[in-house]
Structure 1
Amino acid sequence: MSTLGDDELSLIHDRLNDQDRNSFSLVCKQWLRVEGENRSSIRVLEPDSLHRFLPRFPNLVTFESSKLLTDAHLEFIAKTCPKIQNFSLNFKETNESYDHDYSSSGDNFGDDGVCTLANGCRNLCKVLLRKRRNIGNVGVLSIINNSSKSLTNLDLGRCSLIGDQALEAIGMAKSIRVLNLDGCTLITDNGLSFLANGSCSKSLKKLVMAECDRVTDRGVSLLQQMCWLEELNLAECGPKVTDLGGLAVASIRTLKKLNFSWLINVSDATLVAIAENCKNLLAIDLTGCELITGVGVRALGNHECLESLGLASIYNIKVDDLDTVLARQSLRHIVLDKGLRIWIPPAMQDNISRFCQIHWK
């Protein structure tokens, strides 16, 4: 075994599972070095130990950590592992988080750290920064400027400092497919116009705008220009999104998943248009859309491929309105208001449950 070179050891290493690779690294110093050089991904649970172990993995492609990281940590990561393409840094809050405001402290990285990271790792494909609340427009600009041709997935959910300036930069990205902006409450219609009129409108397949309550029909209507959009989430975007915006969304024929939950001013007119135009739609959530009635629900009964339907907290529908929808063999999952449960005969529920799972809320 001592005559094996690094190339042969690398071939052996590539055929092992994670547990066996750990054992591989314990054989001797050569095998330890080869294992480190061939490691492509890592999940970090103790960031304070980065300086001790990270230099052993210079060829990392994927880095994941849900723990608190500082700007200094990100600077070290960028210098040590410049080949990283996928950063999963979504913050997982703990009980300790509630006792300390990390959003305004140096214990959680911000724009300076992100800029250093983007400058050091110039082939970023996937960047997940959910709940890293010190990140603002400057950090996003740096990511886009350095990786606009390679970036495909960007998660900025609950990054409350993100505004229209960041969306102006994102709009210029040519390869982005997934964009999560839920809870970014500074975003306005102007931000949506940057997305709809930019290069990303030709590549974006999934857009999450939940709880972006400053947007209105004017901005939502622009989304119809996104010619490849398959998933759209506008949940809880507020009363300024009405049927005017809903009808515009209904014209996006590529949609497969749509979340309109708690849009209280969206009515049957939107639902009828969706049923007629969005033939590829697989899932729609209408929870809390209180203007929806049996007219809209019955329209969905003619949809050929709908698999998931959310109708909780809607009080203007009756059991008879559900007959056509529940008869669809394509339906696999439906959420209904628990008040309807007593009106659906047990025999009918048993029959439906053979092909469709019913959840009561």
Structure 2
Amino acid sequence: MMKRQWSHPSCALPLLVAVFLLLTFRCYVSQTTQQPPGRADDAAGSYAVDATLAELAAVDPAASAVLRDAEKLLEGNLTRAPPERRDAALRGLRDWLGRQRFEPGVMAELVDLVKRPIDRYAGARDDGRPYASCAVVGNSGILLAREHGALIDSHDLVVRLNNAPAGEGRFARHVGAKTGLAFLNSNVLSRCTARTAGCRYCRAYGGRVPILTYMCNAAHFVEHAVCSADEGAGAGAAPVIVTDPRLDALCARLVKYYSLRRFVRETGRPAAEWGTRHEEGMFHYSSGMQAVVAAAGVCRRVSVFGFGKDPGARHHYHTLQRGELDLHDYEAEYEFYRDLEERPEAIPFLRDSGFRLPPVVVYR
């Protein structure tokens, strides 16, 4: 007689459960020990930085060209400047050239370099402390899909970019009305100054709002001298502060690193071929990126609004522009913001600066 196979249901069910639990545990161990792409840990338990990418990120032809032009302007005594503003423009240019270097530790000095001049102007007590909370408001059309206006205005400092409108009609509920600092790249400063040969149009939020500007072109120290002299802005106008060149160099290196990493990951090509996709002589970080990094240096908590894109949204909420500028790698910058928010210890250059980044929340 054939021997009957053992198949009692009361025994088979626990056996199946045991097998399922064993497989689940093995899968869990595999997932928790496997390192995700781009997040490899080094022996010390921190995120590894690709040395090749870091070395390539240090090469900045665009910045080198600006410096060469600046030296020529200095040799020529900056004759473009009006005679009454020439000395001030030359002093600004010399000081700016004298501080050209890569130094991530500048993050710890931003309270002195940015907040203190604002506090002195406002008559605030100089306690050397960061702002409690800051909102950096970008210009993306995605802002119109949310009503963050009241939340934005609840921050101690609100930073706006390149004179985008605020508190006007239908924009108010989306972008708010409060502005404590206007961040302008010097191209914008140059254009608005040229409108009336004065600074009135550069102060879109009023003469009492300080301006922070970074120099895309050394010749724009002329416009800086004009705005600093309060021409067209009235007596007692707020200061126009130039970003420290060390902050510029840090931002350039960060963005290029993230762009290089993205290129290698998406194409499978060597990082040295990155230039086939990006024109190195024109490649640059965006105004918004530098505003976010600057805010991280002067605020205990940073909220970021209006950074990102959506197929149905315009590039800027206040214009009809839909296309992006080729000189920026926005996707790389978005990856940087995600690291700021989720794993700041992974950010190259910043993690070894000795500066502790504040909490950052990106509202999408």
Give the TM-score taking structure 2 as reference length.
Answer: 0.22
Q: Which has the higher helix share?
A: 2
Q: Which has the larger radius of gyration?
A: 2
Give the TM-score taking structure 1 as reference length.
Answer: 0.22
- RCO (CA 8 Å, sep 6+): is it higher in 1 or 2? 2
